Each structure stands twice: as structure tokens, then as C-alpha cells.
């Protein structure tokens, strides 16, 4: 199995992160959360995880309901 360069780099960073003491991991996460785009991505992922068991609906259905609510 061939691993891409980006996958290998991600694994290296993950191993380094996991080897840090707790306060070191907290410092890394705090620094990441200072980045607006990263923070927004984390929030989006959190919302997706929280709502993953909700029933889905089509875009057309959503738009029709939204239009009716106006």
C-alpha cells in the first residue's frame, strides 16, 4: 500500500501531537483555534456530527418551505 506524501506528513504530525504532554496538546489546539477558517471548519464538523441522525430532506423541499415561511 502506497501512502501519499500528505498522508505521511499528517501521520507524522499526529504522532508528534499525541506524544506531547496534555498542556502541550492544549497549547496546539488553542493556537489552531485562533485561525478563523480552522475554527469555522471545527464548528461545521461539530454541527454535522450533532445532526447526523436527523432525517434528510431535498433542497427543493427546503427551498419550498422557506419560501412559504416568508
Assess whether pLDDT exceeds 90 at residue 69.
no
| Interval 8-64: pLDDT, tens | 999 999 999 999 999 999 999 999 999 999 999 999 999 999 999 999 999 999 999
H-state helical runs in the chain: 5-19, 22-33, 36-51, 59-69
- Per the CB < 8 A criterion, the answer to whether 25 and 17 are in contact is yes
CA–CA distance, 65 with 56 (Å, rounded to integer): 14
Q: What is the pLDDT of residue 46?
A: 97
- HSE-CB of 64 using CA atoms within 13 angstroms: 5
Which positions ≥6 away from 20 have C-beta within 8 Å?
28
The model's pTM is 0.63
Q: Residue 3 has what pLDDT?
A: 85
| pLDDT for res 70 | 83
Amino acid at each position: 500500500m502506497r501512502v501519499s506524501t500528505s498522508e505521511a506528513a499528517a501521520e507524522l504530525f499526529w504522532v508528534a501531537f499525541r506524544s506531547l504532554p496534555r498542556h502541550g496538546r492544549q497549547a496546539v489546539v488553542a493556537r489552531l483555534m485562533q485561525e478563523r477558517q480552522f475554527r469555522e471548519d471545527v464548528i461545521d464538523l461539530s454541527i454535522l456530527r450533532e445532526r447526523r441522525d436527523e432525517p434528510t430532506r431535498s433542497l427543493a423541499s427546503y427551498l419550498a418551505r422557506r419560501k412559504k415561511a416568508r
